[in-house]
Amino acid sequence: MNNVYQEGKDFAKAYIQPYTELTDKESKFPEESFKELGEKGFLKLLVPEEYGGFGKGLEEHAQACLAFAETCSTTALCYMMHNVALMCVVTHGSDELKKKIFSDIVEKGEFLALAFSEIGTGTHFYNPEISAEVNGENTIFNGTKSMVTSATYASYYLVLAPSVEEGKINNWVFPMEKQGLTFEMSNWNGLGMRGNSSCPMHIDHVTLDSSYRLGEEGSGEEQVFNVVAPFFITGLGSVYSGTAMHMFEEVSNHAVDRKYPDGSSLSTIEMVQTHIGHIYKNAAAAIAITLDAASAGANEESDALAKILAARVFASEAAIECGRLAMRVGGGKAYNKALPIERLLRDSYAGQVMAPSSDVLTIWLGKTLTGQMIP
């Protein structure tokens, strides 16, 4: 893939757009789109070349998520989480685990998901409360993960659990077919991002040997902050930047197409022009700061973390503001759901609360800028 963003835009028009409305209306996981993501190679974007993938990194991850979000926020979000989980396998997986998972992605179009969040710890998902009891060569897990995106559709789930080393955590790969894994599908009824199939995952005496652990014993926190954080937070910046730009495209087209009896359009009204100008400004700024952050992260610049945190917070807030103004321009048609603006506004609100939440990330940003440790 030479131009990931443009190829992603072309893919989205052909294979995501046809299912976008249904994904929201029926709270339906975009299964058809994910099948095509596998067949067209996007699921293996980050898989190393020696395993049959494209070997891309943070910048291309951001570009793909942005391209998809400009058509469907839900699909972009689920895809983003696959890439984040995949990157943990790339950086910390054993040769045996890499070979198995990468083969399933490249040859079968299977994908990954994150099972980090828990009810008790909420947005601080890096403090797991599930139990992990060592029994000889195996570890036995019990507990519940609260909001698992792509639940039942992904083939592998990354699970954070306590380490035998006190105060530390591990990052494990749970195959979907493992006995003891069940999903409470009826529990998901999201305000927005309705097709992401995010529901509780119950873990009942799931038994794994150490080959399913990513990295050395107790290395989970290192993975969370050195791998998960940059790819997850940058990815979310892309998702909400794309959502904001999608709002601009929808509302500007509506303003031009909405005709009055005298033949003039809604777009000739100065206040409408002002609103559309603000929407574009915010969306374009969110995209620019997000792609700049991805570049900084990929090149390991000294201020990369600050840029990534700032981009995610700004993009989330920009999407909500774009939605607020777009609803004004859309008027009754938007309020009555005749336009997709209402859906996009609902999607944008997920950015405030999705772990790590905007409030937590703002605190992290302040700590980073003042030389303090996070979390």
| Every domain of the chain and the residues it spans | 4-111, 115-217, 221-369
Q: Please give the average per-residue pLDDT across 302-315, as a whole number.
A: 98
201/129 Cα distance (integer angstroms)? 14
Q: What is the DSSP letter of 339?
A: S
Q: Please give the average per-residue pLDDT across 206-226, as a whole number.
A: 97
Q: Please give the average per-residue pLDDT across 43-65, as a whole number.
A: 98
88/101 Cα distance (integer angstroms)? 12
Q: Please give the average per-residue pLDDT across 150-167, as a whole number.
A: 97
Q: Are 303 and 296 in contact (CB under 8 A)?
A: yes
Q: Are 253 and 282 in contact (CB under 8 A)?
A: no
Angle value at C-alpha 71, between 43 and 187, nearest 5 degrees = 75
167, burial (CB in 10 Å: exposed 0-12, middle 13-18, buried 19+): exposed
Q: Please give the average per-residue pLDDT across 159-179, as a whole number.
A: 96
Q: What is the DSSP letter of 227?
A: I
Q: Which position has the higher pLDDT, 128 or 121?
A: 128
Q: Are 277 and 260 in contact (CB under 8 A)?
A: no
Q: Per residue in 1-37, pLDDT tens?
A: 889 999 999 999 999 999 999 999 999 999 999 999 9
Using pLDDT thresholds of 50, 70 and 90, give the confidence band for residue 48.
very high
**Residue 287: what pLDDT?**
98
**Residue 234: what pLDDT?**
98
Percentage of residues of the chain with pLDDT beyond 90: 94
CATH number of 4-111: 3.40.50.300, 2.40.50.100, 1.10.540.10, 3.60.21.10? 1.10.540.10
Q: Per residue in 58-107, pLDDT tens?
A: 999 999 999 999 999 999 999 999 999 999 999 999 999 999 999 999 99
Residue 375 has pLDDT above 90, yes or no: no
The domain at 221-369 falls in which architecture? Up-down Bundle (1.20)
Do 4-111 and 221-369 come out as alike in CATH topology? Answer: no
CA neighbours closer than 13 Å in the CB half-sphere of residue 135: 10
Q: Please give the average per-residue pLDDT across 327-333, as a whole number.
A: 96
Residues in the chain: 375
Where is average pLDDT lowest: 82-91, 186-195, 204-213?
A: 186-195
CATH 2.40.110.10 fits 115-217, yes or no: yes
12/79 Cα distance (integer angstroms)? 12
Strand boundaries in 122-219, DSSP class E:
131-135, 138-148, 156-162, 169-175, 181-183, 199-209, 213-214
pLDDT mean across residues, the chain? 96
**Residue 119: what pLDDT?**
86
Distances, alpha carbon 124 to alpha carbons 120, 333, 361, in Å = 9, 39, 11
Using pLDDT thresholds of 50, 70 and 90, give the confidence band for residue 125.
confident
280/109 Cα distance (integer angstroms)? 36
**Residue 122: what pLDDT?**
66
Residue 216 has pLDDT above 90, yes or no: yes
**Residue 258: what pLDDT?**
96
126/343 Cα distance (integer angstroms)? 31
Q: Please give the average per-residue pLDDT across 263-282, as a whole number.
A: 98
